[in-house]
Amino acid sequence: MSLEDLYRQVILDHYRSPRNQGHIEGCDAHGEGHNPLCGDEIFLDLAIGDDTVIDVAISGQGCSISQASASMMSEAIKGKTLVEVDDLIHRFKVMMNVEQGDDGLDPARPGAVLGDLEALQGVRKFPVRIKCASLPWTTLEEALATREG
Ligand code: ZN
């Protein structure tokens, strides 16, 4: 199996069986993201305690890339501290070529593997799709900013 096929399989798996779907009653942070170019919608609830993401819930609808990215993000940030989440957001953007810096994909960097999220790097070849893949992450940033503001 080629790497591209593997990536496609990971994305389809998250799209068909999205993780952490639902809502959190009385959540600590909430974000809503829309990508009118594609019709993607992401609704994000976060439960935060001790500067740690205790729980994540995602709802919404859209293309396989946006929904798979949201599912992967929910798995990646659950149980992480807010500092670690900020680092993940940055590294994801670097991987998608939206930001400059170290994307942590260097296997020599300890604890820096993005896991399933790496499957989305194939999307970089399709500029229109970068917005789909990034939508959950910009929604996450807004949710955290709203909470702090
Ligand atoms: Zn989309």
Q: Tell me the CA–centroid distance for residue 113 and ligand 1, in Å.
A: 25
Residue pLDDT, tens place only, 4-20:
888 899 999 999 999 99
Q: Tell me the CA–centroid distance for residue 138 and ligand 1, in Å.
A: 14
Q: Tell me the CA–centroid distance for residue 45 and ligand 1, in Å.
A: 20
Structural domains present in the chain: 3-146 (3.90.1010.10)
Residue pLDDT, tens place only, 78-133:
999 999 999 899 889 888 877 777 665 555 554 456 788 888 988 888 888 999 99
pTM given for the model: 0.90
Q: Tell me the CA–centroid distance for residue 122 and ligand 1, in Å.
A: 14
Q: Among candidates 83, 25, 26, 32, which has minimal Cα distance to 53?
A: 83
What is the Rg, in whole angstroms, of the alpha carbon atoms belonging to the chain?
A: 14
Q: Tell me the CA–centroid distance for residue 70 and ligand 1, in Å.
A: 11
